[in-house]
Every structure is written in C-alpha cells, then in structure tokens.
Structure 1
Amino acid sequence: MATDIHLGNLIESSPDIRKGRPCIAGTGVTVRRVAQWYRLGHGPEDIADRVGHLSMAQIYAALAYYHANQEAIEADLAEEATTAEALEHEHEG
C-alpha cells in the first residue's frame, strides 16, 4: 500500500538550515532557488531535470509555496540582489 504524503510535510523551515528560509523537506534546496529557476522560464519538469534528486511532487510543492508566499520570497530575492550589487561595487576599485 502506498504511503500518503501530506503537502504540509514537503516544505520545512529551520533557523539552522539556510538561514531559516523555507526548504524542500529533507534537502538543502530552498523554495527561493526553485522560484528563481521558475522565474527564468524553467518549467517544473526542467527544474526536476536540473535537480535530479527532487521528485515532481517536491517541485510542485515548492512552486505552490512560492505562489502562496510570493511577496515574501520576492522581497528576499530583491534583498539578496541588492547585497550582491553592493559587494560588487565595493570590490570594483
């Protein structure tokens, strides 16, 4: 008999892993990483090909979480981009 997997068990957050960012449970893959690939135009199947150890259920759970929390994840991505840009300018000269 197949084991039921509840969607609430597919995404987890821990302050000790990836600075508390939501991750696909049991992996170090953050929801925001999946969201970045998605925003670049990669579909779920392509993302699964890129990260072969993730199931389609895990990819779709990450995308569902992203869409349900899009504002917060977009803000996190924007903050990271701003920090990266500042570091680039700091090391230019």
Structure 2
Amino acid sequence: MNYAHDLISTRPEIRFGKPCIVGTRIAVQDILAWLASGMTNAEILEDFPELTLAHIQAALAFAANIEQRTRQLAA
C-alpha cells in the first residue's frame, strides 16, 4: 500500500490539510463519498478526468490503512 502515499498528500493550504490526490484539490473523502453514493469508478473517471483508476485505488488503500490502525476502545 505504499503507492498510496505517492499519490496522496496533505498540505495545510489545500482543503485545510485534508488528504488529497497529489496535484489536485480532490480529497480522499470526496472519492470515498462518491463511491459510497453509488458512483462507479468509470463514472468518477468520466466526471473527473484528472483522476485515474490508480488514484481511486490509492484513496481506498489510504482509508483502509487508517481503518486498520483504528482500535476499538473498551467502554
């Protein structure tokens, strides 16, 4: 999953530091929301030609990495 880090960056001056696709203002959160709303990869790529399938996969890998590091705290 290291490739995700090459395609995603966080910069305070872009989208308030949200993780974004390098060279764009498209946040990982945006891609995840589009997928969750039912958009297909093809639809996202058609609507946002600056993205590639690798960008979508990197966003998913980035989210999976964060989820993997999340621990459930005992109540």
1:13 deviates by 0.2
Residue ranges of structure 1 left out of the alignment (5+ in a row): 1-5, 71-93
Structure with the larger helix share = 1
Paired residue for 1:88? none
CA contact (8 A) 1:44 1:60 kept: no
Q: 5 Å matches for 1:67-82?
A: 67-70=64-67
Provide the TM-score with structure 2 as the length reference: 0.75
Structure of higher RCO (CA pairs closer than 8 Å, 6+ residues apart)? 2
Question: TM-score normalized by structure 1?
Answer: 0.62
Distance 2:45 2:16 in 1: 24
Identity score, percent = 34
Would you say 1:50 and 2:53 are equivalent positions?
no
Deviation at 1:68, TM superposition (A): 2.4
Q: Which runs of 4+ in 1 moved over 4 A?
A: none
Map 1:1-93 to 2 at 5 A.
7=3, 8-70=5-67
User: Which structure 2 segments of 5+ residues have no match?
Assistant: 68-75
Give the length in aligned residue pairs.
66
The 1-side partners of 2:43 and 2:12 are apart by 29
> Bigger CA drift: 44-53 or 14-23?
44-53
> Which of these two proteins has the greater Rg computed from alpha carbons?
1
Aligned-pair CA distance for 1:60: 1.2
